[in-house]
Amino acid sequence: YMILDLETLGAYGTNCYIYGDDSKEIVIIDPGASGPILEKKILQLDYAVKGIIITHGHPDHTGAVPYLKSKFDVPLYMSEKGRPKNFTVDVKVKENDEIIIGKKKLVVYESPGHTSDGILLISFEDKLIFSGDTIFNRSIGRTDLGGDYSTLMASIKNKIMSSGKVLLGLLAGVAAGALLGILFAPEKGSVTRKKIAKKSEDYTDGLKEKFDEFLDSISEKYDKVAEEVSDFTEQVKTKSEEIKEGIKKEAKTS
């Protein structure tokens, strides 16, 4: 079986996952900014930490890294495109790299957009996607902190919803719930598996169509805002030209 625990940490409510196998070998995914809380839980449950994985370099996901590295002598995994300032990356990962945790395996998929160094972590065995801030339950990551909207949408469509091995691999395991990135806060792995199974039954039929509708709605909202901004900019430009012309006329008549 798997270990899958969720802690929501820090002022921004970052989702930190503890993932591993029945031997209690685990990795910490996105430790947030509350190192002592994680340390206490790990020691109480007698987990054997084998690594720390960062899905992207924003401080709300990495704040506890220095503290945890000082407590657990384990490697830190992060995208090769990451540029951290207050800690050292031990293993720089890229597309299709594999991270082994006991009997478990996570496959790395690059997912830029929210940030340039974003990655997805996929377990085909347990039918899970750890999506970082690429996608949430009925929402997507923001792109106004050094990201890019078009790149983010391409990552979601081409990596999470592509017709290639990610989508096919997950659907083969009937894991539609995980495909949507819906990882609720479980108390233990068995609870998560039941929720994923239930979501699979709910979403498998017409999943891609439903998800495409969701992406289209996001795109429509974005396009509407962009159009409104463009209209406003044009209005300002027109008004500016009118003011300039008025000043020129006044200058000629004076």
Task: Give the pLDDT band of residue 1 (cuts 50, 70, 90).
Answer: low
pLDDT of 175 reads 41
Q: How far apart are CA 83 and CA 89, in angstroms?
A: 9
pLDDT of 11 reads 79
Q: Which CATH superfamily is domain 2-204 in?
A: Ribonuclease Z/Hydroxyacylglutathione hydrolase-like (3.60.15.10)
∠ CA 47-175-102, rounded to 5°: 25
pLDDT of 206 reads 52
Scanning the structure block, which residue is given the tokens 């809380």?
37
The stretch 51-57 carries a mean pLDDT of 95
pTM of the model: 0.69
Q: How far apart are CA 52 and CA 55, in angstroms?
A: 10
Average pLDDT, the chain: 76
More confident residue, 165 or 146: 146
pLDDT of 38 reads 92
Q: How far apart are CA 237 and CA 210, in angstroms?
A: 40
More confident residue, 228 or 7: 7
pLDDT of 252 reads 65
12 sits in which H/E element: none
- Percentage of residues in the chain with pLDDT exceeding 90? 39
Q: Is residue 83's pLDDT more than 80?
A: yes
The stretch 85-107 carries a mean pLDDT of 94
